[in-house]
Amino acid sequence: MTARTRRARPRSRDRGSASLEFLGMLPILLLIALAGVQLGLAAYTAAQAGTAARAAARMAALHDPPVSGSVAGTQAVSSWLQDGTRIGTTGDSGDSVRATATVEIPSVLPGLSPGSVTRTATMPREDDEGADE
């Protein structure tokens, strides 16, 4: 009876290379993911700036508003964006009121400032004749 000897397979030099390739690509994948999140934050901030401008213009157009346009615009923004929100209204004597809202875009990475988004809205001024007497 002859014993079969087991031949050892030659070890491949490629062993573990997939793990190293993944580790090499990981920083790039993380940057792409962070860029996607930052883009989403910028889009959300732009929508919030539009909402703030419309709310501010709507309130400033009233004959006897309960709060100022800038307060209404700031309250219309999500609470975590309110610190970086600036609202201005113009057209105090015309037929319409224009409000401009500027909201700072939050950064995914600390120390980087992606800038701000500015949106403007115009609303017709409420007539004094339509006010309750």
Q: For the chain, how are helix, strand and coil distributed in percent, rounded to 5? A: 45, 20, 40
Strand, helix or coil at 100?
strand
Does 133 score more than 50 pLDDT?
A: no
Does 15 score more than 90 pLDDT?
A: no
Per residue in 28-69, pLDDT (tens digit) is 999 999 999 999 999 999 999 999 999 999 999 998 888 999
Is 85 in contact with 56 (CB distance < 8 Å)? no
Does 97 score more than 60 pLDDT?
A: yes
Helical segments of 61-85, H only: 69-75
DSSP states of 103-114: EEPPPSSTT---
The residue ranking higher by pLDDT, 13 or 55, is 55
Residues 123 and 52: their CA atoms lie apart, in Å, by 13
